[in-house]
Structure 1
Amino acid sequence: MSSLKITPDQIKLGYAIKLPSGWLKHPFLSSSLTIENAQQIQIIQSLGLDYVYFYPEKSKQIQSDILQCPDDEDINFNCQLSEAQARLQQDKMKRIEQAKAHRRDLQKTEKAFQHSLNQVKSLMKLLGSRPLNAISEADQLIGLLTDNIVNAQSLVLHLMSGSSKEQENLYYHALNVSILSMMLAKNLDYSAENIKIAGIGALFHDVGKLKIPTQILRKTTPLTAPEANLLKLHTRFGTELVSLADNFPLEASVILEQHHEHIDGSGYPKGLSNQQIHPLARLVAVVNAFDNLCHPSDGSKGRSPHHALSHLYRSMKGKLGEQEMKMLIRMMGVYPPGTLVMLNDNRVAMVMSVNSEHLLLPNVMIYDPDVPRLEAPVITLEADKLMISKVIMPSALPEQVVEYLNPRAQVSYYVQGKP
């Protein structure tokens, strides 16, 4: 989009402009803005800029009388102008502090996530040789997560950075499905004991795939009938593996066996339907299907979390539990972490975390080419002020915007409890 250089005294109401100074050198939340009042003009003129960028195509006509600005010597007006500028600056600094606090929370959560992921890798490798030790480690990990989820008044679901290593996909998937299953169980009012069982079952639900050849697991073209039948055996292989440990909960073992059963009887391995399927297995089945839509074997076909939820409800209605699907959508929010969005001020952002108490007002990282990516504003949206107007596909954005926001190929989640 073409722009013109104009002097600050040429600015008029409705003009879409961009300030050429750094983000910290002016009191506005963004270097790009549309002029809505005389006060904004006066503040810009007080910045000592030689010029601003003017975007005619983005500007709008505002019906008003000829703008009459008081002389610079008008003390009362200057006092009002200084107060307005101070308020803008104060609001901006508040948002900067909020962004820093969010990043500290995120770093703390990232550290906890990596610790949990390392535990998952370790216990999965132990399962074949020392199953008792593996189950004990899993029990401790899931126990801590359960306490966190059960005791918090509200939960913040964070987007975590993922790995590009294919061999680690199983670990990310296991931890993802486990965390989301426990959150879903809490939202469905399950007891703490059942939340923990859901977590353990979900953590090991695909462990049988360790016995499936990697060329089948990584195959991006349709499986042959023999290959598909072998893959389906992972539910049996999984239950056989955990049966080596007498400390593995029986109800959690049922999750391993039944997480691919459908309520219409079209699933496997036994073609169970409706109430024949254990409630916790129905719950894990929904979360598993969601995460598989985000991370299929052919990575190029992966859906964003927002579109995965939409597709899940449309395509799996009548196959997966409707109550569980609706609650998952409600829990993840209209804009799950990892979703690219357009804000009502036309800025592009990525949802970073969602608070269970304010699902429509998530924390977002805003694209601003004038701010280094590591210092990109991460702000909490506000009702009636800064809000999401629509969801955007990565393919609809310029390459530099996608690189800046870096939507994850591996969408991983971790939960933080808020007392």
Structure 2
Amino acid sequence: MSKAQLKPNDLEIGHFVVLPMGWVDHPFMRNQFVISTPEQLKILKHLKVSSIDVDLKRSTLKKPKVDNTETAKVSTKKSEPSPEELWQQKQRSNMRDLEQDLELQEELFKLAVTQLAMSPTESLQSFKNILGPALEKVYDQEGPLVLSAIVAERESEDVFAHSLNCLHLGLVLAKQIKLSRQHAEVFGLACLCHDLGMLKIPQNIKRTTQELTKQEQSHYRTHPTYSQEMLRKAAVFPKAILPLSANHQEFLDGSGFPKGLKQDKISQLTQLLSVVVYFDQWVNPLPSQRAFTAQQALARVFKLGGKKLNQNYSKALLQTLGVYPPGSFVKLDDDRIAMVVSTNPSALMQPLTQILESGKSLAMAPFVDLQAEGLKIKESFAKEELPSTLQTRLPALPRAILQLQINE
């Protein structure tokens, strides 16, 4: 038998696949090809199909070597892991799954940006391949929705990281304010595409640590207009996202940019986008801008609610993230220092954390469920305020990238 039908999760590198869809419905250059990279495999596993045809004759799978030695037959009995060890393993497994999701999302985002000018229809589909799973988690699946932080080495002007944070945080807010799924789909696409204009801003402006000159500041403030023009020129994106991309940096009092619009000229969806945009931008600013901790940025959004930002949406942000958003560095009431990993919908003041310890990487840091342990947070602080022995356990340019998961 030379052909078989496999579920996407059963595919392996080396399989020759024949995709059951048109070429505009997936991000690959061909409908038939040999899976050659982990990235291709991840994308295939996220396609919304029940099975994929595999040509076994044209596949190049390597057969595993069989070890017939006596030592291979000897099984070493291991002691059963404790409930705590099993729980720690589950948390690490969850984080690995989220990291894999992040890798796939980044590949799709890069592909979408590459396709935008020459193949806009395929670009839109690549953006939708990121949006679809997020929408499904927020609107279609049951169970408490959790926002988790993957801490990665990132440049501060990383458009992908900013756009993904806006998408995941924005969709949770959209659900909380009872935005319909149809409107949330448009809003989510705007979250992903609103900052594409930053790709046209020169690197010397985005990377300088010096205060921007008036000319540089003026150039930087054109990026929303660039975003709108890029999407308009593509001519396949919903027209409803154009004003969101153009006006996401506007403030209700007219002090924003690029047009200085006031409240009555800024749509409700744009006001919602502005809340998540400014929150993430204040936590992850350009090197020339002041950085705030996640807690400080959250307090700033709340303070500006009703003045520069929509008051109801600012309150919804606080109700979603709690006082200590994922990615915050905190001290517990037993004096241990930790990083907030995930929100806890049932107790926002007691999120899931990882304990930072000297000599232990973040990947191996133990998880602590503050609610289960009866612990509380005493204070939060910036990464620069951590003891030097703990700072070395983190990436040099750490950025918390938000991911969505259903808490089982």
Distance of 2:210 and 2:394 partners within structure 1: 30
Residue 355 (structure 2) pairs with residue 366 (structure 1): yes
Q: 2:152 aligns with which of 145, 158, 162?
A: 162
What CA deviation, in whole Å up to 9, does each residue of 1:319-344 have, x standing for no partner? 11111111112211211111111222
2:227, 2:246 within 8 Å by CA — same for their partners in 1? Answer: yes
1:351 equivalent in alignment to 2:340: yes
* Cα pair 1:135 1:245 within 8 Å, conserved: no
- SS of match in other structure, 1:156: strand
Secondary structure at the counterpart of residue 382 of structure 1? helix
Moved more, 222-231 or 331-340: 222-231
- Counterpart in the other structure of 1:210: 199
Q: 1:352 and 1:154 mapped to 2: Cα distance?
A: 16
The partner residue of 1:221 within 203, 210, 231 is 210
1:355 partner SS: coil
- Contact 1:350/1:407, CA 8 A, preserved across alignment: no
Pair 370,402 (structure 1): closer, same or farther in 2 beyond 3 Å: closer
Offset of residue 365 of structure 1: 0.9
Cα distance between partner residues in 1 of 2:284 and 2:382: 16
Tell whether the 8 Å contact from 1:265 to 1:271 is kept in structure 2 after alignment: yes
Structure 1 residues 94 and 285: CA distance shift in structure 2, 3 A: same
Amino acid at match of 1:154: P
Give 1:271 shift: 2.5
Check 1:408–1:338 CA distance in 2 against 1; reply closer, same or farther (3 A cut): farther
* CA RMSD across the alignment: 2.5
Instruction: Name the SS for the 1:112 alignment partner.
Output: helix
Supply the distance in 1 between the matched residues of 2:359 and 2:245 (Cα, whole angstroms).
49
Work out whether residues 295 and 410 of structure 1, in 8 Å CA contact, stay in contact via their aligned partners in 2.
Answer: yes
Range moving further from structure 2, 264-273 or 146-155:
264-273
Corresponding residue number in structure 2 for 1:232: 221
Counterpart in the other structure of 1:417 = 406
For residue 185 of structure 2, the aligned residue among 188, 191, 196 is 196
Residue type at the aligned position of 1:229: S
Deviation track 1:174-211 (CA, whole Å, cap 9, x = no partner) reads: 11112211111111110111111111101111111222
Structure 1's 417 and 383: CA in aligned 2 closer, same or farther, altered over 3 A? closer
2:286 and 2:396 mapped to 1: Cα distance? Answer: 18
1:251 corresponds in structure 2 to 240
- Any runs of at least 4 consecutive aligned residues in structure 1 with deviations exceeding 6 A, and if so which? none
Q: Who is 1:76 aligned against?
A: none
| Paired position in structure 1 for 2:121 | 132
Cα separation, 1, equivalents of 2:324 and 2:197:
33
Change (3 A) 1:410 1:371: closer
State the one-letter code of the partner of 1:289: Y
1:280 and 2:253 are equivalent in the alignment: no
- Contact in 1 for aligned 2:127/2:189 (Cα 8 Å): yes
* Bigger shift: residues 305-314 or 273-282: 305-314
Other-structure match for 2:370 = 381
Pick aligned residue for 1:94 from 83, 95, 98? 83
Q: Which runs of 5+ in 2 are unaligned?
A: 1-79
Q: What SS does the aligned partner of 2:234 have?
A: coil
Instruction: Give distance in 2, aligned partners of 1:324 and 1:405.
Output: 32
- TM-score, normalization by structure 2: 0.74
SS in 1 for 2:272: helix
Tell me the distance in 2 between the aligned counterparts of 1:364 and 1:399: 20
Structure 1: stretches of 5+ with no match in the other structure:
1-89
Residue matched to 2:258: 269
Letter in 2 for 1:404: R
Q: Structure 1 381/198 Cα, relative in aligned 2: closer, same or farther at 3 Å?
A: same
Are the equivalent residues in 2 in contact too, given 1:131–1:244 (CA < 8 A)?
no
Kindly tell me the number of residue pairs found equivalent between the two proteins: 328
| Aligned match for 1:122, one of 111, 116, 134 | 111
> 2:128 corresponds to which letter in structure 1?
D
**Structure 2 vs 1, CA of residues 265 and 375 (structure 1 numbering), >3 Å: closer, same or farther?**
closer
Are 2:208 and 2:288, in contact at CA under 8 Å, matched by a contact in 1?
no
Return 398-407 or 199-208, whichever deviates more. Answer: 398-407
Aligned counterparts of 1:405 and 1:365: Cα–Cα separation in 2:
12
CA distance in 1, matches of 2:235, 2:344: 38
Number of the residue aligned with 1:306:
295
